[in-house]
Structure 1
């Protein structure tokens, strides 16, 4: 029988947490009392388009990396391996694609809501309302998930009730977002970035000291097959592969950095296209500063429990692998007052940054795509409009809290849950956007039908996987040994006995060991020399799927790309069947530049650049017919 002492936060830890939360609130109060006092929707939602590069860059990063990532990475490495590290490649590729192709396009549209584009491009309220409603829905669900993740971890290792953590996290993020608007969001995100970095680095250094250094960490991770970065299996039913993460991850990255409401607001909050590009590309070093230490922490946590021969998940010490990192911190750093509190603060900072981005994005979507169309509200004074946006933040916070409690009823790896939800809804939504931007011939019927089909297909895939219990194939990895989860065991780390024990475990992984199967903690004993039947179950070729199981087994990494392609194919097919839109009836500014040059010609491109330099209040985009007239006139002048 194993007995584990429960470590809890001390007084100093709680002081650290409270101080950091109060600073976040203070930033919101400060911006509510300075500048324009957040009395206009432009200031509240876009920070008057006068923000500097540093806070925008750091905010772009922390909105991309939340507590879900901090908790999810160690869980993924512990159970499956390190393939998720390839997101570093796909994310950087997505930064370049968005900076080169999409930032001038998005800023040229003068958007407050990402779905204003849909209304202008398709001239259909049905498509706009569908897109905006689903955008708000997925943001609220993400809001709840990002709140639930750290609350679950904190509750498991500190004794703070789950409900209390959820309420506090949501209340603080709602308070400073509703008070200070986008300026508070950006500057608080900048603060939270440094808190996250500090918490991650302190945990990493202390972890290395505990296990014996980075060399032992690496050797143990390699022996345990956790440093398995590259799997070139081309099958889309394999959970994580090089091709899946690089291609599917790039799609996810472009969607997040280009089409998400939070990032549209950030891209629009700086002064120029050049600054927006720099802010996005400057994410790369800061992004790696977060992801690489987080990967090393994941290897360290794995090594620590291998050395202890302790498997907290299997021995039911924690209820989920998502709680591994907080459990590790409380075991290793209980003797360092304030450090566990700093780590918990880094989790809270990740959650607060995601929540504030989501809340401000929901407010922008609700105002621009719903409330603004109501004459009674549209005619109100600017101060009243800003107040409505603030109240929207409060309502969204309450709904997000309810979703967080609902998420407590769900299970599974937190990163997979989050990315599955994000990809399955945002893939089709981004498909609607791309259909209009890439194909001037697409009409609103095609967009609406394609969007519905994309969402239905993604939902069908997810529900089919759950109902029929079909999982993507995960190549098996050696299980962490168990039986050593008892008080005082960690004091033996580094001794001759443990060094010998560790070498013994590492040699065991070569021929005969215990392997995890797919997405569960179930395991089998595999002796490659004698047990050919079991070996076939976990062979590199993976299981054999039949019929619709091939669809249900598609990796969650591909959901976003699957949704985009469904919208594009169905959208163009339906547009062809119902009658293509005449490109001359579409404002060229609504088409991506490289397509625009092909359809409308270079002369219009030069004319549009002059128009786009005009002040926001006086700019008047030419209609499609005026474009044709302009092109005809330029041809006449050329011939003369």
Structure 2
């Protein structure tokens, strides 16, 4: 297949799916069986006997597996399929998310995590009742459930569709298999099964990336060639400090907007919070978040290199423009079958890695949905024993597994996988992050202010979100890079040449609302929702007597705790230097 290095595939694109063999299906099936076996193992270990063991793993987990679980949970098929396609079309500026990850982890570990640990809560939204009232807790729970069900539908359906259209992999068979297996091991094994399957699935995801990168390097004669071709194709332009918030990806949208988008996931989303609260100590929880940062960087770097691999192989014949694939999200599986189809079982490994991302995300979502339902909707109103609560949680896992499958059927109306997923988190997660921020950072924040801010922030972001979906921003806002079809060898195809050397020119004038408000970068949805909620919440709280209330210090960000970190590390560094500093030599006095 070395001819793929400079030309389009030797195999007829319409018959590329024939390269997905029985052995590939066996590899995929083995992944499902192993994941299910982990659930059976923990079921025999008796995790369902206690509600705390089932939902929170007895709060006994260590930082290592939790770190990998945190990484796998939201770096799913969205990353495996969406990020390489993003790099292929727009360049490596998406890699600036690494800065957002670092800021997000720091804030999650040092601001939100200590507050949750002091309170000993199970549901993140229990904080809203302790800080405000039970109605705010209910609002937070409903928003989380809505967000998670919508996101999970995209995660199940979109990769199944992409893989079906390229590999011929059964669409609804894979959708149902994913939902059933996730529900199975979540229900049987509880949080411990979810965490350990995430570890296994993270390894598979990275393996899928690595086989693509290594095979491309072999075809091209080294990674240096891949990088060099990406440079000539304009894919290595990373620094764009344009402050315009309408530009889709710049340093500011990725670093600032990305921080708020991901903070809405790691800082307050039950799917992530539940994992680090299940650690055996605050120290293990913090270490889990910081080790997870390394996992995020590894995953992002692998996805970026995979995107450059796609460009290196198809720089002269873009499969999307040439109509070999119908959507950018199909580029990655198309590349796998093209360059790895001669190695039976390897395409199956990639598919297994992609679905591992789906399984990790869906299982985390189902488990978190069941946990908040029991903690926020059942326990406050019905008195049940620990064993009964555990059985109710198992029933909720089954229920939400079925609901997520139904949502997958509705996800077919959604466009690009990556942007759709992050937009949903911005629209719902941003205002909710603002409510938590008012509670944690402002001693005078009250329920009236928080609720008013939430309504204003949500309606504003929903408005711009719906508008941007209906009126997508023009090309000069998104800046797609040139794609070529001049090297395509099948002249009977109707191909539109897309060879450009300059940026796309501005389109014809549009109404101001469309050209400005609806063109706001999708990464600023969360930032806008957070700031509006926070500002309105602060003003209304001050206007409604927030300064006159007494708030338990345990519910607020502990500035003393934060600065104590620096004192702790400074004292340890000084002690270490004292140990390694050479002893002064004593010179004897002359007689």
Calculate the TM-score normalised by the size of structure 2.
Answer: 0.88
Distance of 1:102 and 1:177 partners within structure 2:
27
| Structure 2 residue 120 is the aligned partner of structure 1 residue 110 | yes
| Structure 2 residue 324 is the aligned partner of structure 1 residue 317 | yes
Unaligned runs of 5+ in 1: 488-520, 529-533, 603-640
| Structure 2 residue 430 is the aligned partner of structure 1 residue 427 | yes
Match of 1:18 in 2: 29
Match of 1:270 in 2: 279
Match of 2:349 in 1: 342
Mapping of residues 402-417 of structure 1, within 5 Å: 402-411=406-415, 413-417=416-420
Rate the CA distance shift 1:446–1:20 in 2: closer, same or farther, 3 A: same
- 1:379-426 CA-partner distances (Å, limit 9, x unpaired): 222222111111111111111111111111222x21100000011101
Unaligned runs of 5+ in 2: 1-11, 565-591
Distance of 1:159 and 1:526 partners within structure 2:
33
Match of 1:631 in 2: none
Helix, strand or coil at the partner of 2:49? coil
Contact 1:359 1:393 in 2 (8 A): yes
Query: 1:597 Cα shift?
Result: 11
- 1:552-571 CA-partner distances (Å, limit 9, x unpaired): 11101111111111111111
Rate the CA distance shift 1:168–1:299 in 2: closer, same or farther, 3 A: same
- 1:158-201 CA-partner distances (Å, limit 9, x unpaired): 21232111111111111101110000011111111111122211
| Structure 2 residue 591 is the aligned partner of structure 1 residue 588 | no
Distance of 1:304 and 1:421 partners within structure 2:
33
Query: 1:548 Cα shift?
Result: 6.2
Rate the CA distance shift 1:272–1:326 in 2: closer, same or farther, 3 A: same
Helix, strand or coil at the partner of 2:104? helix
| Structure 2 residue 133 is the aligned partner of structure 1 residue 129 | no
Match of 2:232 in 1: 223
Distance of 1:126 and 1:381 partners within structure 2:
25
Rate the CA distance shift 1:557–1:575 in 2: closer, same or farther, 3 A: same
Distance of 2:400 and 2:496 partners within structure 1:
39
Contact 2:116 2:127 in 1 (8 A): no
Query: 1:152 Cα shift?
Result: 1.4
Match of 1:166 in 2: 175
Q: 1:238 aligns with which of 243, 247, 251?
A: 247
Distance of 2:474 and 2:438 partners within structure 1:
31
Distance of 1:474 and 1:370 partners within structure 2:
43
Query: 1:471 Cα shift?
Result: 4.8
Query: 1:232 Cα shift?
Result: 0.9
- 1:415-454 CA-partner distances (Å, limit 9, x unpaired): 1000000111011111111111111212211111211111
Helix, strand or coil at the partner of 1:232? coil
Match of 1:556 in 2: 522
| Structure 2 residue 143 is the aligned partner of structure 1 residue 148 | no
Match of 2:462 in 1: 459
Match of 2:367 in 1: 360
- 1:217-274 CA-partner distances (Å, limit 9, x unpaired): 1122111111121111100000000011111112223222221101211111111111
Query: 1:477 Cα shift?
Result: 1.9
Query: 1:103 Cα shift?
Result: 2.1
Match of 2:313 in 1: 304
Mapping of residues 70-85 of structure 1, within 5 Å: 70-85=80-95
Distance of 2:114 and 2:527 partners within structure 1:
23
| Structure 2 residue 506 is the aligned partner of structure 1 residue 537 | yes
Helix, strand or coil at the partner of 2:17? coil
Query: 1:93 Cα shift?
Result: 2.3
Helix, strand or coil at the partner of 2:478? coil
Contact 2:226 2:312 in 1 (8 A): yes
Rate the CA distance shift 1:597–1:318 in 2: closer, same or farther, 3 A: closer
| Structure 2 residue 406 is the aligned partner of structure 1 residue 397 | no
Q: 1:181 aligns with which of 190, 193, 207?
A: 190
Number of aligned positions between the proteins: 549
Mapping of residues 36-47 of structure 1, within 5 Å: 36-47=46-57
Helix, strand or coil at the partner of 2:516? helix
Query: 1:594 Cα shift?
Result: 1.9
Contact 2:154 2:414 in 1 (8 A): no
Q: 1:62 aligns with which of 72, 76, 88?
A: 72
Helix, strand or coil at the partner of 1:567? helix
| Structure 2 residue 295 is the aligned partner of structure 1 residue 291 | no
Contact 1:588 1:596 in 2 (8 A): no
Query: 1:312 Cα shift?
Result: 1.6
Q: Kindly report the root-mean-square deviation, in angstroms, between the aligned alpha carbons of the 2 structures.
A: 2.5
Query: 1:83 Cα shift?
Result: 1.2
Helix, strand or coil at the partner of 1:78? helix
Query: Which moved further from structure 2: 542-551 or 76-85?
Result: 542-551
Helix, strand or coil at the partner of 2:479? coil
Rate the CA distance shift 1:379–1:536 in 2: closer, same or farther, 3 A: closer
Distance of 2:562 and 2:499 partners within structure 1:
61
Rate the CA distance shift 1:38–1:450 in 2: closer, same or farther, 3 A: same
Rate the CA distance shift 1:482–1:451 in 2: closer, same or farther, 3 A: farther
Distance of 2:443 and 2:108 partners within structure 1:
20
Match of 1:505 in 2: none
Contact 2:124 2:269 in 1 (8 A): yes
